[in-house]
């Protein structure tokens, strides 16, 4: 038996603006997905996702669900990671895979990428194939393509390498050396949303008001650059102010909503240094930069406002095989 894990992520600055070439900053947080892999005596691949409540067997391309056929789409990306690793090992063996996760699903926190990364590492270690972190990233990115079509790669990169990264379209991911632990409260609206639809809506607005929205996008990029300096200095006050400004810009381009704003203002009014939506918007999660002494108060305020909340911190550790 082998267990591997990989972290979730939050985008601190730059979502949506990154589509137009501006920088974005993402960090790994200390919520993890765990994949437990064991060998089977037959050649079947069995996958059980505890959090999603779905499970089933794969024999080649044939799928037999344990509960209902609707589970296929949710398990195929995980199976894809397993078969990619077995292909590298030149093995045709059976594997049991049990997935458990601390990461809320469909909340913009990179849950599917963390599962793909942890699965890849666990199966690789199980069958004795040496995978570099670049190998793990590439296999997980391939799984993400089955879910998101044309993902940026930021989610599997963070889950694989951990820490903080700067991402800019057309450029390689760049590690960001940050000593600050970045104390956060993550608030979840528990509302589902379509990132693709939101990205398309922003593009329509930009096409209709190019001179206005174009300037907003540039300002978003300037905020990310200033945030990099504040992160290096460990300046929570400036970071909080920049989070607030960034959220205001995201509201202007139409990707926030009443549910997100309700949680954001609850967090700010209870003492957070700053707060904004994280990810695509339209639902999902907010992040609130919060000094340690106020974390419990901010969590309580978000929950009173109708969300669910938890404390999170940056983690420098990416994928790992558990002892």
Residue extents of the structural domains in the chain: 2-177, 184-312
Identify the CATH number of the domain defined by range 184-312.
Answer: 3.30.70.890
pTM of the entire predicted model? 0.91
Q: Which residue has the higher pLDDT, 173 or 223?
A: 223
What is the set of active-site residues?
A: 155
pLDDT in tens, 218-267: 999 999 999 999 999 999 999 999 999 999 999 999 999 999 999 999 99
CA distance 258 to 256: 7
Which of 49-63, 154-168, 207-221 is predicted least confidently? Answer: 49-63
Which of 20-29, 50-59, 94-103, 175-184 is predicted least confidently? Answer: 50-59
pLDDT at residue 20 in the model: 93
Which of 113-117, 191-195, 297-301 is predicted least confidently? Answer: 191-195
- Specify the CATH architecture of the domain 2-177: 2-Layer Sandwich (3.30)
Q: Which of 8, 244, 248 is nearest to 107 (CA)?
A: 8
CA distance 284 to 139: 26
In this prediction, residue 69 has a pLDDT band, given cuts at 50, 70 and 90, of: low
Q: Which residue has the higher pLDDT, 215 or 148?
A: 215
Identify whether the C-beta of residue 163 lies closer than 8 Å to the C-beta of residue 28.
Answer: yes
Mean pLDDT of 34-50: 94
pLDDT at residue 194 in the model: 80
Q: Say yes or no to pLDDT of 142 above 80.
A: yes
What is the DSSP annotation of 66-107? Answer: SS-GGGHHHHHHHHHHHHHHHHHHT---EEEEEEEESSPTTS
Q: Say yes or no to pLDDT of 70 above 70.
A: no
pLDDT at residue 146 in the model: 86
CA distance 282 to 231: 27
CA distance 287 to 198: 19
pLDDT at residue 60 in the model: 80
Q: Are strands 94-101 and 45-49 parallel, antiparallel or unpaired?
A: parallel
Distances (CA, A) of 143 to 24, 136, 151: 23, 11, 10
In this prediction, residue 74 has a pLDDT band, given cuts at 50, 70 and 90, of: confident
Q: Which of 255, 281, 277, 257 is nearest to 267 (CA)?
A: 277
């Amino acid at each position: 038996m082998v267990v591997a894990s990989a972290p979730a992520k939050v985008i601190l600055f730059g979502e949506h603006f990154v589509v137009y070439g501006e920088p974005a900053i993402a960090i790994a947080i200390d919520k993890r997905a765990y994949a437990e892999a064991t060998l089977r005596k037959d050649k079947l691949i069995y996958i059980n996702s505890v959090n999603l409540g779905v499970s089933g067997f794969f024999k080649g391309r044939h799928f037999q669900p344990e509960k209902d056929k609707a589970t296929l789409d949710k398990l195929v990306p995980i199976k894809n990671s397993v078969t990619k690793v077995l292909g590298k090992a030149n093995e045709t063996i059976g594997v049991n895979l049990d997935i458990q996760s601390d990461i809320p699903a469909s909340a913009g926190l990179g849950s599917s990428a963390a599962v793909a990364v942890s699965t890849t590492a666990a199966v690789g270690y199980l069958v004795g194939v040496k995978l570099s972190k670049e190998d793990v990233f590439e296999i997980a990115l391939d799984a993400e393509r089955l879910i998101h079509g044309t993902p940026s790669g930021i989610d599997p990169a963070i889950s694989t390498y951990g820490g903080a990264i700067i991402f800019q379209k057309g450029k390689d991911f760049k590690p960001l050396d940050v000593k600050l632990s970045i104390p956060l409260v993550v608030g979840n609206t528990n509302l589902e949303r379509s990132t693709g639809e939101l990205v398309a809506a922003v593009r329509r607005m930009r096409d209709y008001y190019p001179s206005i929205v174009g300037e907003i996008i540039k300002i978003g990029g300037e905020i990310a650059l200033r945030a990099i300096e504040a992160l290096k200095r460990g300046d929570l006050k400036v970071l909080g102010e920049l989070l607030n400004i960034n959220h205001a810009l995201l509201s202007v381009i139409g990707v926030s909503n009443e549910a997100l704003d309700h949680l954001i203002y609850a967090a700010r009014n209870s003492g957070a240094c700053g707060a904004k939506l994280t990810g695509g918007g339209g639902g999902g999660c907010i992040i609130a930069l919060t000094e340690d002494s106020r974390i419990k108060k901010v969590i309580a305020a978000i929950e009173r406002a109708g969300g669910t909340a938890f404390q999170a911190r940056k983690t420098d550790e990416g994928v790992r095989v558990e002892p």
